[in-house]
A and B are shown apart, each in its own frame.
Chain A
């Protein structure tokens, strides 16, 4: 991927994948949008003068910090208000398959497979999930992922390996898919 020239181009290029990453981490559309917007604003206000090739790791570092903060807040919230049942707009497994612009050639099996894959990703621990997404989907190096996730390179390798193994096992078990 060539380096984006402007901040707007960069954000357009990255926003959908970033949204999907946060949505998987939070399971909430509204929270995912909040975190995404916060991260974008922080990048734009603090790092616009940095070279454009540094924006991607910086953006994901901000995003990961936001996700971590969000999970901490949720933990505290759950401890303080343990009797309350959170009524957030939680994304259900079926939501992943929702598509208003369905193409006729998209068969049901393929759609179900997609929903299942995303659901399995959502079932991973946040660290494994984000590590997998950063390494595999975003194509970041082990060193960059370690820097973004604020952990050692060894931890990144472990999270990544466990994530892939879990995904493979689950896909094979639940949906009888063999690779």
Chain B
């Protein structure tokens, strides 16, 4: 008599075999489109292999080229960043200098200079005004 565990093992083996058979069948019965797609994938991979085999020097020189390329790309990157940074810095400097000069460009006028430049006619008019005011004050005091 077969033990239950052995029986289970046998059943599992049968299941496994059945599934494998179905998988094999499904692979054999793949559609033409699927087969073509798979073949294309393989051809793409093999093309890379052939390209490598045709130019094996490419693989050897890979490291040397990569160093020079890294250096070149670094320089190019730096130059491009300088190209961009220069105009930005120049425009910033221009804006700052303009705002600075605008603030300082209107100095306060000295009082002495203001007095010196007052025309004499104005002074004469002020004197007349003061005389007229004095006369008016006198008249009001006499009337009182």
Contact = CB atoms under 8 A, between A and B. Distances in A.
Interface string A117-150: 1101100000000001100110000000000000
Contacts of A137: 20, 23
A58 interface: no
- The interface residues of chain A, by DSSP majority, are classed as helix
Given A45-B52, A98-B31, A136-B19, A168 B11 contact: yes
Nearest to A35: B41
Interface residues of B, number: 31
A36 B12 contact: no
Nearest to B9: A164
A102 to B, nearest CB: 8
B22 A117 contact: yes
Contacts of B69: none
B17 to A, nearest CB: 9
B19 A121 contact: yes
A100 B31 contact: yes
B49 A7 contact: yes
B25 interface: yes
Interface string A19-49: 1100000000100010011001101110010
Nearest to A45: B48
16 contacts: A8-B46, A15-B42, A17-B27, A19-B38, A20-B23, A20-B26, A37-B44, A44-B46, A113-B22, A117-B19, A117-B22, A118-B23, A121-B19, A132-B16, A132-B19, A165-B12
Interface of A: 7-8, 11-12, 15-17, 19-20, 29, 33, 36-37, 40-41, 43-45, 48, 96, 98-101, 113-114, 117-118, 120-121, 132-133, 136-137, 164-165, 167-168, 171, 177, 179
Given A45-B48, A48-B49, A118-B22, 4 more contacts: A16-B38, A136-B20, A164-B16, A177-B18
Interface of B: 10-12, 14-16, 18-20, 22-23, 25-27, 29-32, 34-35, 37-39, 41-42, 44-46, 48-49, 52
